Chains A and B, each alone.
Chain A
Amino acid sequence: MDYKVNNISYKYTKDGEEVLKNVSFSIEKGKVTAIVGPSGCGKSTLVQILSQVIPKLISNGVLEGSFDVPKDTFVSVVSQTPENQLFGYGVEDAIAFGLENIGMSQKEIVERMEYVLNLLNLQYLRKRSVDNLSGGQRQSVCIASVLAMKPDILIMDEPVSSLDPNGKKMVQDILGELSGSGNTIVLVDNNLVWSAEVVDHVVGLLDGEVVFDGSKDEFFRNFELQKKLGVILPQEVELYRALSKQFPDIDLLYTVEEAFAQLRGRVEKKETLRKISSEENESIIQVQNLVKQFNDGFTALSQVNAELPKGKVIAVLGQNGSGKTTFVKHLNGLYKPTGGDVLYKGTSILGKTVAQISKNIILVFQHPEHMLFEETVEKELTFCARMQNVPFSEKRITEVLEKYHLAGEKQTFPLNLSMGKKHMLTILSVLFSSADVIILDEPTLGMDGFLIEELEKMIADLKAAGKTVIMISHEIPLVFRVSDYAVILNKGQKIFEGTKESLVEREDIFDEINIMMPPVVQLSKKLGFDEVVFQVDDFIKKVSAQKKA
């Protein structure tokens, strides 16, 4: 029997707006159901209703309809921030916590612990402390701790949103294991890039209403709906969307191998040598022999040299712990180097305060809540300008708010915005500063497809205005779409610096840092294009140009 969401409507207050409107769908037993939709569509409210937070903990709203499940059905949730969910110092303590709460005997706890640690291949972590785990490991332990309680339904709420590629892979593998062993999973995430292969069933929510309820294949064939929901799709599916216009007989594809198999007979291989641009760039920031050793003796950066070109979009890549954040925090003076120097336009920034440096080099943090504190969106937008005594006009404020669809929120309290919009607001405030180097740390965190599109346009506008953008991001396809230049760090050492065209020729680097090249890059190399492309549109143009007669 399936679990039925039956005509659920919900208002947070009696006089408030309905955030969910007659929502009905089934959660199939032993399958993975993905609930997708843009920011503010009601996904989080639905999670709270399915997990009984509404009405057990939040009881002042108006709930209609029902979640029809057998008596004593246990629903548990894995949230996007495992550090707020894990109770206990060690991994074993954290896994045992829920089992102790339900009064299980020590013998049974030991059995359950062995079961989940074996199922998820986490035995090697059992004696570690939660604090010392990487993001992916922590999320895996979080899943293990919930799974140990044998929930009938396991809800995963954006479980990989803040993880690096290694962490995503780890959670992806676990999701595969769970799906294979017949667990009922509800995945609430607008990003299907990492989960497309294991999802069975998709429910689309828009403005609190169900606008799609069907299989994964049906969803990935419905291009109009994907766009409407702002779902972040695997690049392979984007390719399918674009290719199907040229080749109506092409089958839905989810992997590079599937795409290659379908395209190799249709595209002519060009044997010409790929050109790599070797233009000389004027550098705006020079990093000289940078060394950072923390008080506990850990060396985070070791003799790093870099020449960051002016007016370009520069990606800083590497796995968590590679030194990326430490590197960029030296560029704006937050960290003082143990050795070496950082020069901005030929002059050392050492000795200046962070606020002084921010007039030239500004850093936007990845968690917007660390930045927002003004009472209105308008004031927040002009924060940097006021701090730096940069003049701004009312007209400019209106222009920016309108361009980025925040005009209606001008007087809103910034912390009431959705996560993606909060993030966008902190990035927009930089537009009013005097800085000509802008550093963005994980700028897509919490953003749906619409906001990511706007972010891409903004980065292009900044570049067109002659500004230099330095970006740390784990969204590899996005990085390759927008960037010109890359600095790659691994274990505190720079292992690559150069244009993205030269980077894609270095497969050894990708192996070393364990990051996959974007599917379009892999395919354009496999199919023997005369140049590597980084965007789906360019890929389609190449396919047309090299199409077999």
Chain B
Amino acid sequence: MDYLKYVDGDSLLHKLDPRAKFIFFIVMAVLTSLVKSGVALLFLLSFFVGMWSVCKIQKYIWVLFKKLKVLLIFIFLLWFILGLFEQPKVGNGPVFFKTMISLWGNQKLLVCFDWYDIYKGLVYSLRIFLMIASFYTVLLTTNFSEIILGLQKWKISYALAFGIGLVFQIIPMIITELKAIMEAQSSRGLEIEACKWTTKIKNYVTFSLPLLFRVISKGQAISLAMHYYQLNFSVHRTAYKKIKASKYDAYFILANAAAIAITIILRMQFYIAV
């Protein structure tokens, strides 16, 4: 299954002007940074799920979710554990366990396991997931040629736009290389499956050196290719393809505006301080 790379398709998201998708990511990043209401975030998640399903990219998002699982659990646990040492800010929920632990001298520590700890952990995990997923939605549906064109339309210099586009071209290559290196080394007898986590970490040193050399040699090959194609950032370039907004961009912006408005209303209606 493809990961961290553009997926060919003909969906609404694929048809959009890349600038509309860039705006979508920026707005969603700001929105998920500010909105801390569980109900509002759940609505936003359902809007995203609907959008992914209509554009038939939900299985790629599911792959992303599985890759992010550990990070999301970590974020949940972090906020959950911090919450154990706090009194619930909202007093009308169930408290599952509460005690005072005596420390040195007269110092005491409150440990309170209540619904609010779970809520807080879930809200923070959901915010991070939505933020990453909005970026990933853009990545899945915008190829690097469109990224470069879109950025250039925003008057970003070609050198910078090309550099950003190149990163998105190279990331999938590096992932493929790392996978091949891991397979090659394990084929030669390096145990990477049935081993302790300390060995697993050590193994990454074994993988990183060949990966580093592969990346360097790819970098060299790319710079040679840039020379063969006479790429010179100080010379004016022309463009074969042009991008322009269409009716699909209007539909997309309207749908997002409605979703944002509902999210804000829900946030005001159901806000619980976290």
Contacts and interface: CB of A to CB of B under 8 A. Distances in A.
B230 interface: yes
Contacts of A429: 188
B4 interface: no
A369 B214 contact: yes
Interface string A412-435: 000100000000000001100100
B208 to A, nearest CB: 9
A371 B223 CA distance: 24
A79 B194 contact: no
A430 B189 CA distance: 10
A353 B191 contact: yes
Contacts of A105: 238
B46 interface: no
Interface string B4-15: 001010000000
Contacts of B192: 353-355
Contact of A89 (B143, B191, B230): B143
A440 to B, nearest CB: 12
A371 B210 contact: yes
A437 to B, nearest CB: 12
A296 B1 contact: yes
A384 B188 contact: yes
Given A85-B221, A96-B241, A367-B180, A353 B189 contact: no
B227 A362 contact: no
Nearest to B229: A98
B53 interface: no
Nearest to A335: B183
Contact of A85 (B6, B188, B225): B225
A386 B221 CA distance: 34
B145 A106 contact: no
Nearest to B176: A83
B201 interface: no
A66 interface: no
Interface residues of B, number: 53
A96 B145 CA distance: 11
Given A87-B229, A100-B238, A371 B188 contact: yes
B240 A365 contact: no
A83 B228 CA distance: 14
B193 A355 contact: yes
A129 B222 contact: no
Given A295-B1, A371-B185, A84 B235 contact: no
B133 to A, nearest CB: 19
B145 A89 contact: yes
A369 B217 contact: yes
B143 A106 contact: no
B191 to A, nearest CB: 4
Best-buried of B166, B225, B237, B238 by chain A (most CB within 10 Å) = B225
Contact of B228 (A51, A81, A90, A415): A51
A352 B211 CA distance: 26
Contacts of B143: 89-90, 129
A499 B36 CA distance: 69
Contacts of A96: 240-241
B164 interface: no
Contacts of A362: 187-189
A247 interface: no
Contact of A88 (B145, B217, B221): B145
Contacts of B180: 365, 367, 370
B224 A93 contact: no
28 contacts: A74-B230, A76-B228, A85-B222, A87-B166, A87-B229, A88-B145, A89-B146, A90-B145, A93-B145, A93-B240, A96-B240, A100-B238, A100-B239, A101-B235, A103-B235, A103-B236, A103-B237, A110-B240, A132-B8, A295-B63, A354-B183, A354-B187, A355-B190, A365-B180, A369-B213, A370-B177, A371-B184, A384-B188
Interface of B: 1-2, 6, 8, 63, 143-146, 166, 169, 173, 177, 180-181, 183-194, 206, 209-210, 213-214, 217-218, 221-232, 235-241
Given A356-B194, A370-B180, 11 more contacts: A89-B143, A92-B241, A93-B241, A96-B241, A101-B232, A110-B240, A131-B8, A146-B229, A329-B183, A353-B191, A363-B187
5 closest Cβ pairs, A-B complex: A387-B189, A89-B143, A96-B240, A84-B221, A355-B191
